[in-house]
Amino acid sequence: MSLPRRTLIRSTGALLGAVGAGSLLAACGGSSDTPGGTDGAASDATSDTPVEGGTLRAVFAGAGASESLDPFAGTSPVDFVRNDVIYDSLFILRDGAPEPALATDAEPAADGMSFTLRLREGVLWHDGSAFTADDVAHSFRYMSSPDRPLPSELQMYFDMGNVTVEDEHTLTVPTVQPIGDPATMLASFPAKMVRSGATDFSTENAIGTGPYRVAAFEAGRETRLTRFEEYWGGASPTDELVFSSVSDPQARVNAVRTGQADYAGDIPFSTAKAGIEGSDLEIRTAGDTNRTGFAFVLNANRAPFDDPKVRRAARLAVDRARLVETVLLGYGEPGNDLFCKGARYFSEARPLKRDLEEARRLVKEAGAEGAKVVARSAEYEAGYNDSTKLFVQQLREIGLDAEEQIVSLAEFFDPAALEEADSVTFSSSPLPLPVIYGRMAAYPSFALPDDEFGAAFGEAMAARTDAERRTAWAKAQDVMADRGNTVVWGVADILSLARTNVAGIEVRDQAKYPYLGKAGLA
């Protein structure tokens, strides 16, 4: 089973950028002595309601000419944000929990090996036709087709090609392992619904059920979207959304600063630190439950990190405070080595305190003194390479012969090289735990070979009640906290720049790709 790179991008943040959305914000405009930050006077930007009408102009990082209206092909922030308002998913995530969207219910069978999917009635496509079970069956087949360069990850869990259409609004979906909470899986992985038979996503044929329809699109430049009045979730406040693709973060800032746009995603920490003049501008953070976890994933399948003692030593060696200060410029806080802070069932263990003496003792005890450690990194997100260099220095301090292996983005995912690396730099937003641990288990160099962890993970995936899931995830994360292979050294703020009157921006699955279907100008 292959995990396409897109899923990695989706889980780590984008190739060239990321986007923040506002629930907690720190005003920055005008007062240069208090450049954006989360510790200052924070106010709630989403309390304003957008007024009817008007145009909202937003800039995001794009992918040039390879951007696409095919919801399963685009890989850049602008692709995700745009396709999020054109197409709908069966379920969406809200505060980490699944909420019905195009489906109303996903009920697992007694053995967890299939589930019944019930669809919302009265949903219309942009061309006026009705949304039915056939559309879902086609979408499942289309997104998981092996001919696609990026087949859907959901096929790790669901048998996507063997869906049975029971009636116009009901389907039965077989699974490949017991799944107790299919709705969370459908909400967490990219799974937009397209019309039955749709394979061409040119401007005219990009038809979804979302709150906006495509008026004009030019890859790498601009998308103009107009409100879809018959939207099943109630028409959006704003008449028109205009998304522009701007790769350079400073250019995005300039576009908002000079009035060419109202909202810009992925603002570099350095820009925020310097402050941005303008009384009607503010730098927003997505809040402390929507931060990106920055990490080094240790390869537990080869020496020296196959020894839990050396893994613990690496965690004791890492200087979290210094990394947060130098790499994140203070926009964040030290992490506790567990991914997905802010997600449901996340374990709030305290970060390990730096203890070089204990770390050296553990390395010695494991007989790993002078062991070679290769830390692989590419600048997938700003800060990857700098953090890796610091980590290497810190590993040297405890007697490991560490060296960094900085490569280009095109080389980063070479499977053979990943398997030979001892540490891979990685990051993740607060995805639901099944997603992040499922992904890690699927990557040979990221998986933790631990029976207790594996059993707890399986239990969590099959659990049918909230209480069962909570217990199982606590068990799995206890193992990670004790002898795990992730060194999540910090969680970083997700920043955006907006005019003060931009309102209604929501975080659904990831703050880096905010949902603009209900956004507008207040």
Partner 1 sequence: MTLLAGPVGRRLALRVATGGALLAVLSLLVFVGVDLLPGDPVTARLGPNATPERVAELRAARGLDEPVLTRYAQWLGGLLRGDPGTSFSGKPVSEMLADRVGHSALLAGLCVLLLVPVSLAAGLYAARRPGKPADRTVSTGALLLVSVPEFVIASGLVLLFAVGLGLLPAVSLIPAGDHPIRHPDMLVMPVLSLLLVASAYSIRVIRACAVSVLAGPRVEFLRLTGVRERTILRTAVVPAVLPVAVQVWLVTGVGLVGGAVLVERVFAYPGVGDLLVTAVLGGDLPVVQAIVMILGAAMLLALVLADLAVVLLTPRLRTGGAV
Q: Which residues bind partner 1 (CB under 8 A)?
A: 1-5, 7-8, 15-16, 59, 63-66, 68, 73, 146, 149-150, 216-224, 244-248, 250-251, 254-255, 257-258, 260-261, 407-415, 418, 442-445
Backbone angles phi, psi at 375, to 5 degrees: -105, 110
DSSP 3-state of 43? strand
Name which of 164 and 202 has its Cβ closer to partner 1.
202
CA dist 437 and 167 (Å) reads 35
Cα dihedral 404, 409, 412, 413 in deg (nearest 10)? 170
Amino acid 427 reads S
CA 191, CA 154: separation in Å to the nearest integer?
Answer: 8
- The single-letter code of the amino acid at 229 is E
DSSP structure class, residue 465: S
Least distance (Å) between residue 446 CB and partner 1? 8
Nearer to partner 1, 185 or 440 (CB): 440
Between residues 164 and 250, which has the closer beta carbon with respect to partner 1? Answer: 250
Task: From residue 397, give the alpha-carbon distance in Å to each of 296, 305, 314, 359, 393.
Answer: 17, 16, 10, 9, 7
Residue 12: CB minimum distance to partner 1, A: 11
What is the nearest approach in angstroms of partner 1 to the Cβ of residue 420? 12
* Residue 5 CB burial class (10 angstroms; 0-12, 13-18, ≥19): middle
**Choice between 32 and 393, CB closer to partner 1:** 32
3-state secondary structure of 395: helix
Residue 9 beta carbon to partner 1: minimum distance, rounded to whole angstroms: 9
Q: Which is nearer to partner 1, 232 or 413 (CB)?
A: 413
Q: Report the run of H or E that residue 179 belongs to, with start and end.
A: none
Pick the closest to residue 437 from 334, 309, 313, 346 (CA basis). 346
The 3-state secondary structure of 300-356 reads CCCCCCCCHHHHHHHHHHCCHHHHHHHHCCCCEEECCCCCCCCCCCCCCCCCCCCCH
- Eight-class DSSP state of 47: G
Nearer to partner 1, 47 or 258 (CB): 258
The distance of closest approach from Cβ of residue 243 to partner 1 in the complex, given in angstroms and rounded to an integer, is 10
Burial 441-455 (b: 16+ CB within 10 A, else e): bebebbbbebeebee
DSSP assignment string, 82-131: HHHHHS-BSEEEETTEEEESSEEEEEE-TTSSEEEEEEPSS-B-TTSPBP
Neighbours of 457 (CB within 10 A): 23
Joined tokens for residue 92? 């969406």
The DSSP 8-state label assigned to residue 506 in this structure reads B
Nearest in space to 14 (alpha carbons), one of 517, 514, 372, 516:
514
Nearer to partner 1, 129 or 203 (CB): 203
CB of 143 to partner 1, least distance (A): 15
Comparing CB distances to partner 1, the nearer of 8 and 516 is: 8
Nearer to partner 1, 72 or 115 (CB): 72
Give dist(CA 247, CA 234) in Å, integer.
Answer: 33
Nearest distance from C-beta of residue 251 to partner 1, angstroms: 5
- Do strands 423-428 and 372-377 pair parallel, antiparallel, or not at all (unpaired)? parallel
**Closest separation in Å from C-beta 135 to partner 1:** 23
Smallest distance from the beta carbon of 222 to partner 1, in angstroms?
Answer: 4
Q: Could you tell me the smallest distance in angstroms from the CB atom of residue 57 to partner 1?
A: 8
Q: Shortest distance, CB of residue 229 to partner 1, whole angstroms?
A: 22
Q: Of 248 and 397, which has the nearer Cβ to partner 1?
A: 248
Q: Are 378 and 348 in contact (CB under 8 A)?
A: no
CB of residue 515 to partner 1, shortest distance in Å: 22
